[in-house]
Amino acid sequence: MQVNYPDMQLRIMPVTPFRQNCSVLWNEKTRKAIIVDAGGDADVLLDFLKKNILEVEAILLTHGHLDHAGGVAALCRGLENMQQTQPNVIGPNIHDQFLLQSIVEQARHFGLSGLENADVDRFTEDGESLNYLGCAFRVMHIPGHTPGHVVFVDEKARFAFAGDVLFRGTIGRTDFAYGNSQQLISGIKQKLLPLGDDIVIVPGHGGLTTLGAERTGNPFLQR
């Protein structure tokens, strides 16, 4: 996917049996990159980074579920042998800390192995700005799928890494003990939709969509 910045590229790489959309965003001139939601298949990610001669500045996590954060530890270990400095691991809101520290348990529930608990360098706060690759990502805390779920929005380039908040035609599941469908829908309507119909949504699963398409066609947002 071409983004609205000179020399920037975005590659979406589905990982884990859940086919979670791990995103690699990089500058073609500097070869600097960030990764959003390194859920697993670290060997595949490391191979891609090596072949494209990319140096990872940061790993951003939208929330603490296993398919979004379970590959962080292995990815960081692999990067130790590939680059001089380790990437910053930027977490979701601190309310997802319990999920990040229970990934092994989550994986066991699904009969999966090879995923690890994730440590972060810091958590994020609603409204703060993260600056990487010359991009400014606004952090939006939108709970409901998980208590600490965040969305990373680049308002200049007009796209957002939405994790499991919003998908094409649906929203993230909320049938967990900590889920809240009304909270999730309210967050989408109050925080995301006002950004404008042209914002491209990079969801945690499935194909890309836009806020305009979801505003008019997503049945969960018509309530």
Going by their DSSP bridges, the two strands 88-90 and 55-60 should be labelled as: parallel
Residue 125's pLDDT is what? 98
How far apart, in whole angstroms, are the C-alpha atoms of residue 40 and residue 14?
9
pLDDT(4) > 70 = no
pLDDT(1) > 70 = no
pLDDT-derived band at 216, boundaries 50, 70, 90: very high
Q: Where are the beta strands (DSSP E) in the chain?
A: 8-15, 20-27, 32-36, 55-60, 88-90, 129-132, 135-141, 150-154, 159-163, 166-167, 170-171, 200-203, 209-210
Q: φ and ψ at 30, to 5 degrees?
A: -85, -20
Residues 62, 150 contacting (CB under 8 angstroms):
yes
Residue 2's pLDDT is what? 56
Domain covering 8-221, topology: Metallo-beta-lactamase; Chain A (3.60.15)
Q: pLDDT per residue over 115-125, tens digit each? A: 999 999 999 99
Q: How many CB atoms lie within 10 A of CB 78?
A: 18
Q: pLDDT per residue over 20-40, tens digit each? A: 999 999 999 999 999 999 999
Residue 6's pLDDT is what? 75
Could you tell me what percent of the chain has a pLDDT over 90?
96
The mean pLDDT of 56-63, rounded to a whole number, is: 99
Helix (H, G, I), strand (E, B) or coil at 185: helix
pLDDT-derived band at 223, boundaries 50, 70, 90: confident
Could you tell me the two tokens for 178?
């900590």
Could you tell me the two tokens for 42?
């670290």
pLDDT(3) > 70 = no
pLDDT-derived band at 49, boundaries 50, 70, 90: very high
| Closest-CA residue to 220 (of 154, 172, 177, 159) | 172
Could you tell me the two tokens for 215?
């505003």
pLDDT-derived band at 89, boundaries 50, 70, 90: very high
Residues 64, 148 contacting (CB under 8 angstroms):
yes
Output the CA–CA distances (angstroms, integers) from residue 20 to 62, 69, 158, in the order listed.
12, 10, 22
Helix (H, G, I), strand (E, B) or coil at 20: strand
Residue 27's pLDDT is what? 96
User: What's the whole-number average pLDDT of the chain?
Assistant: 97
Residue 13's pLDDT is what? 98
Residue 176's pLDDT is what? 96
pTM of the predicted model, to two decimals? 0.97
